[in-house]
Amino acid sequence: MLCQENTIHYCSWTFVVGGVLYLLRQMTTHTPYGRYVDKKSSGIMVPAKAGWFIQELPSFLVPVLLFLTTESLPGIGRHLLLWTFCLHYFQRTFVYSLLTKGRPSPLLIVVSAVIFCSMNGFLQGHYMLHCTQYHSEWHRDTRFITGLLMFFTGMAINIHSDYILRNLRKPGEVSYKIPRGGMFDLVSGANFFGEIVEWCGYAVASWSLPAFSFALFTICSIGPRAYHHHRYYLEKFKDYPKSRKAVIPFLL
């Protein structure tokens, strides 16, 4: 399959511009999913498990289908793609979605996520399989090694933080509690911090515009959500640790 350079270029910059616009929007309002869903809304709601499975699946399925059905360039690019990008979305699709105890999401949010994940799955998959060519020593490059360390560190933080959140409440409990342990001792949005570290690591390891654009979009989309969570905790719990930051340890 020939590299669609213009498509890669325009999609990447769409993510950059879209991410900044989304960041600005979230400064004044909440994206209506999770704790911010309007309980009085009459719109169609999708159960949490089904919603997460449906919306995350394209990010895993599209690159895998590209890998299986098209000729790809030899080298480390496709392995980097499969063992990092697809690994994350395999976990989110087939593990996280089955374990989540989250609230139902509006159908519009799920459909929007499906569209985004389909686009991003194609962008990252097509670029890694059909466009980029790394030199034979790339696996020894400092950027590659540093990026992979960041990716797997972030993934571990993300998974551990999700585990803490799932076990905050006993069966039947509905009230929110203060998460404690792991990175939650430093930031309110430990799960978001882990995912940001993941995709920044992926961007460093792959050293590509598509990966950097996705990392930026991730920061712009879930960074503000961590900030809103932080404000919520501070307002709700009088004993909430004042030393915790929102999403970046010791800074923000």
pLDDT in tens, 107-123: 988 999 999 999 999 99
Return mean pLDDT, the chain. 89
Statement to judge: residues 131 and 150 lie in one domain: no
Statement to judge: residues 110 and 186 lie in one domain: no
| The token pair that represents 246 in the structure block | 């929102």
Statement to judge: residues 246 and 170 lie in one domain: yes
Residue 140, pLDDT > 90, answer no
User: What percentage of the chain carries pLDDT values higher than 90?
Assistant: 55
Amino acid found at 225: R
Query: For residue 230, what are the domain limits?
Result: 141-251
- Does the pTM surpass 0.85? The reply is yes
CA Rg value for the chain: 19
> Where would I find the H helices in the chain?
5-26, 48-69, 76-80, 86-91, 97-99, 107-126, 142-166, 190-206, 209-236
In a domain, 15, yes or no: no
CA proximity to 129, closest of 68, 204, 58, 209 = 68
Mean pLDDT (whole number) for 165-169:
84
Residue 35, pLDDT > 70, answer no
User: What percentage of the chain carries pLDDT values higher than 70?
Assistant: 93
Instruction: Say how far apart CA 171 and CA 148 lie, in whole Å.
Output: 37
245 bridge partner residues: 187
46 bridge partner residues: 105
Domain boundary among 90, 112, 136: 136
What lies within 8 Å, CB to CB, of 130 at 6+ separation is: 1, 2, 3, 4, 66, 70, 72, 73
Statement to judge: residues 169 and 124 lie in one domain: no
**Of 28 and 151, the one with more pLDDT:** 151
Q: So what's the pLDDT on residue 38? A: 63
In a domain, 9, yes or no: no
CA proximity to 194, closest of 235, 168, 164 = 164
Is residue 198 within 8 Å of residue 91, measured between CB atoms? no
Split into its structural domains, the chain has a count of 2
Kindly indicate the confidence band of residue 174, based on its pLDDT and cuts at 50, 70 and 90.
low
Amino acid found at 133: Q
Residue 44, pLDDT > 80, answer yes
CA angle 192–85–208, rounded 5-degree value: 95
Domain boundary among 136, 154, 189: 136
Most confident range, picked from 15-19, 46-50, 180-184, 229-233: 15-19
In a domain, 6, yes or no: no
Statement to judge: residues 124 and 170 lie in one domain: no
Q: Kindly report each contact of residues 136-141 with a partner whose C-beta sits within 8 Å and lies 24 or more positions away, as own/partner.
A: 136/75, 138/75, 138/76, 139/76
Instruction: Say how far apart CA 138 and CA 77 lie, in whole Å.
Output: 10
Kindly indicate the confidence band of residue 34, based on its pLDDT and cuts at 50, 70 and 90.
low
Residue 159, pLDDT > 90, answer yes
